[in-house]
């Protein structure tokens, strides 16, 4: 049976009856130990480090295209595969995989809402069986309009048609917690802690669309603007990227270097909470 396409945010109840669909690749982006203990039947495991790169002081960067092609081929993903990603933290690592797929123009992917926590909470089956993967020959090509590098952000700092969304904790945003050489945030960036989008009483599923949309509107994150998301290494902000796309935002980019790059450079402009 050939899989019809799934929604971007996929409830566990919609995946459970279709685990055997053709062209479906379920990817577990948890640690290998967790995967071997229990995973969704038919899932394949991906080490998060395989979809990020470090150069100089910046972590969380996009790997080169040859590396990504090798990783996706090893997972058995083909250009027409529908990829469903999940993890155990509500979707940060899984979201990063899906953003990476968007960055290379892959068309079909979904985030399992609530990940393995929601799956197990809803009493869907789990497995320890390791699926035999038939490797593909995926040829990745970077797409336009998904990545915002440092130069792109610098060039648009005063652009009223662009909104920067910093998804780190308020302590990081205000410069009270130091995770890079310099502290603070990119000038003009609005803070929205990524965990606020999750329902912590409902297995880390996304909160209702109407609530999330209103919160974005209240922050000035409106659909007429291009939104650029970032955090420390574009892990947390990858979840926010997927959330914004699910809300219908047409133009969303992510800055993969994020604060690990911006905060470790000597000449990038920063803002932080004034000393009282």
Catalytic residues: 231
**Cβ atoms within 10 Å, residue 41:** 15
Q: Any idea how long the chain is?
A: 276
The alpha-helical segments, DSSP class H, found in the chain are: 12-15, 32-37, 65-74, 92-103, 115-121, 150-155, 170-174, 209-218, 236-246, 258-262
By CB neighbour count within 10 A (0-12 exposed, 13-18 middle, 19+ buried), where does 111 fall? buried
Q: CA angle, corner 257, sides to 112 and 241, nearest 5?
A: 30
Encoded tokens for 234: 């574009």
- The sheet that has 252-254: what strands, in order across it? 190-191, 162-166, 226-230, 252-254
Residue entry with tokens 């994020």: 258
Half-sphere exposure of residue 206, counting CA atoms within 13 Å on the CB side?
A: 26
Q: Phi and psi at residue 119, in whole multiples of 5°?
A: -60, -45
Burial readout 10-30 (b: 16 or more C-beta within 10 A, e: otherwise): bbbeebeeebebebbbbbbbb
Residues paired with residue 164 on neighbouring β-strands, in sequence order: 228
């Amino acid at each position: 049976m050939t899989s019809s396409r799934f929604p971007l945010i996929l409830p566990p109840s919609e995946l459970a009856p279709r685990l055997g669909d053709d062209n479906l690749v379920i990817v577990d982006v948890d640690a290998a130990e967790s995967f071997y203990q229990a995973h969704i039947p038919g899932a394949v495991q991906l080490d998060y480090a395989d979809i990020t790169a470090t150069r100089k002081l910046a972590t969380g960067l996009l790997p080169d295209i040859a590396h990504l092609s090798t990783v996706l081929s090893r997972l058995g993903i083909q250009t027409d595969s529908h990829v469903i990603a999940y993890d155990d933290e509500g979707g940060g690592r899984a979201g990063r995989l899906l953003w990476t797929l968007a960055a290379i123009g892959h068309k079909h992917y979904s985030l399992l809402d609530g990940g393995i926590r929601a799956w197990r909470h809803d009493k869907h089956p789990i497995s320890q069986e390791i699926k035999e993967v038939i490797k593909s020959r995926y040829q990745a090509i970077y797409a336009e309009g998904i990545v915002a590098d440092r130069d792109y952000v610098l060039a648009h700092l005063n652009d009223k048609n662009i909104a920067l969304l910093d998804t780190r904790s308020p302590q990081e945003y205000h410069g009270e917690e130091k995770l890079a050489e310099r502290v603070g945030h990119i000038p003009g960036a609005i803070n929205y802690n990524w965990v606020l989008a999750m329902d912590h009483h409902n297995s880390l599923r996304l909160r209702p669309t109407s609530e999330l949309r209103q919160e974005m509107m209240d922050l000035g994150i409106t659909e007429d603007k291009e939104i650029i998301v970032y955090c420390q290494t574009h892990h947390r902000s990858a979840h926010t990227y997927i959330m914004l796309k699910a809300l219908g935002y047409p133009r969303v980019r992510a800055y993969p270097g994020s604060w690990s790059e911006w905060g470790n450079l000597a000449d990038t402009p920063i803002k932080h909470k004034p000393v009282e």
